[in-house]
Chains A and B, each alone.
Chain A
Amino acid sequence: MKYKFLISALLLAGLWSCQPEINEFEPSKGNADFTTYMTAGNSLTAGYADNALYKSAQENSFSKMLAEQMEYVGRTGSFNIPYINTEDGVGASNGVLFTKLKMGFTQDCLGTTSLGPVRANPNATQQELAVLLGTSVADQGPFHNIGVPGAKVTHLLAPGYATLNPFYGRFASAAGNAVIDEIANVKPTFFTLWIGNNDVLTYAIAGGSADQITPLDGAPGVGFGASLEAILMTFKATATGGAIANIPNITDIPYFTTVPHNPIALTEQGQVDQLNAAYAQYNGAMEQFGLEYRINFALGANAMVMHDPSIGVPTGYEALQIRQIKANELVLLSIPQDSIKCAFWGTQKPVPGTFVLDEKEIMDIDEAVAGYNLAIKAAADNYDLAHVDMNAVMKKGSSGGFVMDGVVFTNAFVTGNAFSTDGVHLTPQGNAVAANTFIDAINKKYNASIPKVNVAQYNAVVLP
């Protein structure tokens, strides 16, 4: 009798030994209907990264992560993405096409080899890239991700935008469509929208020298607020819920924070004296004009000299429209480093203003972003949507950083894990943070439990 007890006790113990079960998290859709999810926006939504659109980056977009996580809370059917058939990618800037950036070794003008972004295929021709970008995938639609690289809020409303922007042209269901016309083809029950970055970023990336910041006010297609509302109303035709994300402070991204204003390191008094002698005449002239500008060099780190056409010199003295860059001004990542190192940019030659955001430009940009974010918050409230505070995440990243699952995120270029090699777009890990930020906001708004993604399971910048 007692042995029987012992044997059954041992058997019972054997059953207990199975894997300990945890059921702490139960996915739940809450008050939302995630059956058909659709996402609109710009390059971030599309999955553009490393300065180009390429397939694996599209697969690592926060939008696709959201779609996958929503499968646990009722999303059904496929999530169609207008994939581009290339891993080297196609990017575009001012009408020039290129392949993506990746980390590689480059030799600078001084013969020093270092690790930095290089083109995946520097020999790709404009023609072959144009074919890749121009190949229509519209027959694979309708698409659930209609993010269009380069698009501003106003562009999404523009009929015929397909002919202006090949990143839309390649998947537009009809050439005359506006991007928002794609929404009716999908009839989403839930949507996310993250738009507005380019309304100020395009201007900022041009160093404030080209493009215009979209005004806050104005009719749909002109002003930010009304355009945003027009997009939301289109979604709301079928969607019962959605989320809208605000815009991170553009001037905190690595594209603007990586290159210091004062990279000129002077170690010998001889160099200092020579430069100061060369600018003595400039300083004298400025004094004569009653202008406060002075150029001075000293041992140590020195601010670069830049071209600034806003300096009010008398006609004929335009050559003196130069000054040193201020500590609170931002030098763009696109500035050619070799020109600083070997072609005397910043010392003997002024840096073109297109590579610098000056105080006024920064103020205009920050003001625009603040205005857009107020409009986005108001729209979230008016249309009863989840408000996704991406700007708060960006602020955490730029003020000391934050950690998730052992990954340290900052706004540092490459090493900060969040931003890809172009200093603007996100890495897969950065996308995972964005996806989780969306999920937090959606869960809160709709009392849902969409499971989050694990950021450590995605890549940061890939090193050779």
Chain B
Amino acid sequence: MIRSITQQKPEEELDQLLDGLGRIFVIGCGTCTTLTRTGGAPEVAKMAQRLSEKGKIITGHVVAPVACDNLTRDALAEYGDQMDQADVLLIMTCAFGVQNIARQLKKLVAPALDTLFMGQETSAGEFNESCTQCGTCILGETGGICPVTSCHKGLVNGPCGGTNNGKCEIDNNKECAWTLIYDRLKDLNRLDAMRKLQKPRNHQGELSPGKFKL
């Protein structure tokens, strides 16, 4: 399952964001941010309490079932009055949810979270970024492990000099993608794929911003 991985903004930044906005309605999400404990019912309640203690008036709070869904406006219809009373909707969902709510409700929104990456749950409670949707997939040549995403520098021709006992130089909690790829290709007896000099990547696979129409 793919999840949108978020973390709460620093309190100082939140306070700045809400400066001059006295009446606030807080919205969480029942899917990703509930799972990552950044915008589920307990976090929404805690946020409402914290803001209340800071002198804000909380006109209400709710956890939307799926904030990025097209039906979110309908799902939140019963909170219409409470939302109308608010100066701003403080949204504890990923940025997809924030934008969806802003588009559907046409209210001033403030994100309470930063959206970090699209994560895949690789073990209970652990999420890893495995695809950046670059538009030019090379997984067929790297044993099904994406170096564009999993290597900090997005290198496609093997490890840099910062590879360190199978870990990345930037964080020893992060794997060196090229150690993983090497191990995988070796197991598959396909190291020849790693020996091929890859051309510079096409960074314009899908011209940003992406658009798709059926």
A and B interact physically: no
Interface residues of chain A, those whose CB is within 8 Å of chain B, are none
Instruction: Name B's A-contacting residues (CB within 8 A).
Output: none
